Amino acid sequence: MSDNERPSIRKMIEDKASQKGATNAAEKTMPKLFLICAIISILTTFGIVLTLLFETVTFFSEVSIVEFLTSSEWYPMFSDPDYGIRPLLLGTFTVAAIAMVVAIPVGLAVAIYLSEYASDKKRRTIKPILEVLAGIPTIVYGFFALTFVTPVLQSVIPGLAIYNALSPGLVMGIMIIPMVASLSEDAMSAVPQSMREGAFALGATRLEVSLKVVFPAALSGIIASFVLSISRAIGETMIVTVAGGGSPAQGFDITSSMQTMTAYIVQMSLGDAGFGTTVYYSIYAVGMTLFIFTLVMNILAQFISKRFREEY
């Protein structure tokens, strides 16, 4: 080895040592950084829950929880206020049900097409369109429901009010289609190709393979997508605020105005409720109710997903 080669070899060794030291430092630092991020997320969640809990307890110190759960009247701004959550629940679930009537069949059909029928070229074209649909701000959907969908529906349903449950429900269903389609398509794509090939070898058609082989095998993910979509519909805010109206529901008339839990929270947050009043604390009581429902829906989605995965 010549004298000229020795310094270059020594430099290479030093460079590798320094790179190894930097790698070791990163290996020690990054787990701590990830842990800090996880702790911040957990603490934020606890902060939100505790805030809801403390303010809700304050509300129920002034209003009977029995009245809140059983009364059929919700008029918090009256001189003799009523705080029965039932009309808000009725409006929330009515709009969510309309949305699911649209989102589930259409989203599932799109998922089956993308997973079992579409070519790679068509899939690369359709999926970005769905992503764009999912990325549109919900306030835009709300004004679309109010200024376009409602007038169109009024030409078909003469008695339809300008603010109603049908229009925001339909538009919300359109908004949720990408969620159902994406999650269901991911579940179907995860089914082993060997199952499809075995069914084709037995003489099954593509439709039979899709509905009798792939669909049952992916049922856990598909049902989870349905439940998560319902949770998304229950928690939707801007569409129902803009196009649904502000009158608590007294029945199942989807042609009239209905107020959801989220729409009530928005209405009161605009300044109608004075700080420290019972009406102000009712925002947190409704928020806690909404939180409990969405939490239950998410737990249900995980349970159903695990249960069907074990069976299939």
Per-residue pLDDT, averaged over 183-201, amounts to 85
- pTM across the whole model: 0.81
pLDDT band at 99 (very low <50, low <70, confident <90, very high): very high
H or E element that contains 292? helix 278-311
Kindly report, residue by residue over 153-181, the tens digit of the pLDDT.
888 888 888 888 889 999 999 999 988 98
- pLDDT in the model for residue 256: 84
Q: Is the pLDDT of residue 13 over 60?
A: no
d(CA 166, CA 15): 68
Per-residue pLDDT, averaged over 183-189, amounts to 86
Q: Is the pLDDT of residue 15 over 70?
A: no
CATH dotted code for 85-307: 1.10.3720.10
Q: Tell me, what DSSP letter sits at residue 72? A: S
- pLDDT in the model for residue 101: 92
**Across 21-30, 95-104, 243-252, least confident range:** 21-30
**Lookup: tokens for 247:** 């009158």
Distance of CA 205 to the CA centre of its chain: 35
Kindly report, residue by residue over 36-46, the tens digit of the pLDDT.
888 998 899 88
Q: Where are the domains of the chain?
A: 3-62, 85-307
Q: Which residue, 48, 95, 128, 35, is CA-closest to 263?
A: 95
For residues 138 and 244, the answer to whether their CB atoms sit within 8 Å is: no
Per-residue pLDDT, averaged over 187-212, amounts to 84
Provide, rounded to the nearest whole percent, the portion of the chain with pLDDT above 70: 88
